[in-house]
Every structure is written in C-alpha cells, then in structure tokens.
Amino acid sequence: MAKKKTDEFVFDLSEPIAEELGFELVDVEFIKEGQNWFLRLYIDKDGGVNLDDCQAFSSRINVLLDETDPISQSYFLEVSSPGLDRPLKKRADYDRYKGKMIEVNLYAQIEGSKYYKGINGGIEDEMLTLLLEEDKELKIPVKSIGSAKLYFEF
C-alpha cells in the first residue's frame, strides 16, 4: 500500500474509534526513520490528552490494525498529542484557532515568500486570511497551503 494511501486508510479506520472515545483524530503519519517504519496517530480533546488517553486509544486501534492488517511491513505504533504546535489540517481547525498565531508553508511563493507567520483570520470562500505585522492582511488560497500549524514561541 502506498504511503499516502496507508495514511488515509488508517485515518479512516481510526477516526470512528477516536470519536467513540471522545477524541479528535488530528493526524496520521506513516514514515520511515532509519531502518524502522513508524505509524504515528495524533489525538486531542478539550483540555488536552494524557498518557491514559493515549494508551486507551492505542489499545483499541492496535486490535483493529491487527484485524485489518493494512500494512505489510513491520512498524512501531505511536499515539500522542499533536503538541503545542498542532497542525491545522481541516477547516474546523482554522475555525477553532481563529485569532491565534499560526505558521503557514506554501507550495509556491505568494508575494515573494513560501513562509508566513501571522494571526489566523479564518477561511472564507476557500481563502485563508492571515493578519501580518504592521496591520497587513494577506489572502492565501487554501489549495496553496502545504502545511499550517499553531505557532508557539519557546
């Protein structure tokens, strides 16, 4: 199964379990690091997730993965929180974090850059409004966004 298809299949398989347990399935990654493959599932809920939450979800999804066996090679299963710099994947993510500082990486340059950091002004008509410094407003087509995440300064 191709990488993208594996991610999508596992996401679709896992999302109902996450919802049943009161979590939001934020993202699924199937990546190779060194000689090992990792299947990483990121869950969240209001107030954040803890180790018991990750264990409960991991136990449930592990059984389902064993039953459906969608991945031919061996891999390590990891379940965790998306972290402080949570990725924004769905329109609901942009709605939930409207008014928050985000980082956006684009597929192609807009106004001379592929990277922007600013206040999430939300999505309307398939355009993300990003409020930059000096009260400048940038409209970004949603289809141009390679990745976006909450910005957290350490």
Of the candidates 95, 116, 91, 94, the one whose C-alpha atom is nearest the C-alpha of residue 106 is 116
Domain ranges of the chain: 3-80, 91-150
pLDDT digits (tens, 9 = 90+) for 42-68: 999 988 899 999 999 999 999 999 998
- Residue pair 27/42 in contact by the 8 Å Cβ criterion: yes
List strands edge to edge, sheet with 101-110. 137-141, 127-131, 113-124, 101-110, 145-150
Specify which residues 31 forms β-bridges with. 38
pLDDT at 152: 82
Q: Which pLDDT band, with edges at 50, 70 and 90, does 3 fall under?
A: low
| Alpha carbon distance 114, 105 (integer Å) | 6
Burial class (CB in 10 A: 0-12, 13-18, 19+), 77: middle
Q: What is the mean pLDDT of residues 30-34?
A: 94
What does pTM read for this prediction? 0.78
Quick one: fold of 3-80?
GMP Synthetase; Chain A, domain 3 (3.30.300)
- Give the rounded percent of residues in the chain with a pLDDT score beyond 70: 97
Architecture of domain 91-150: Roll (2.30)
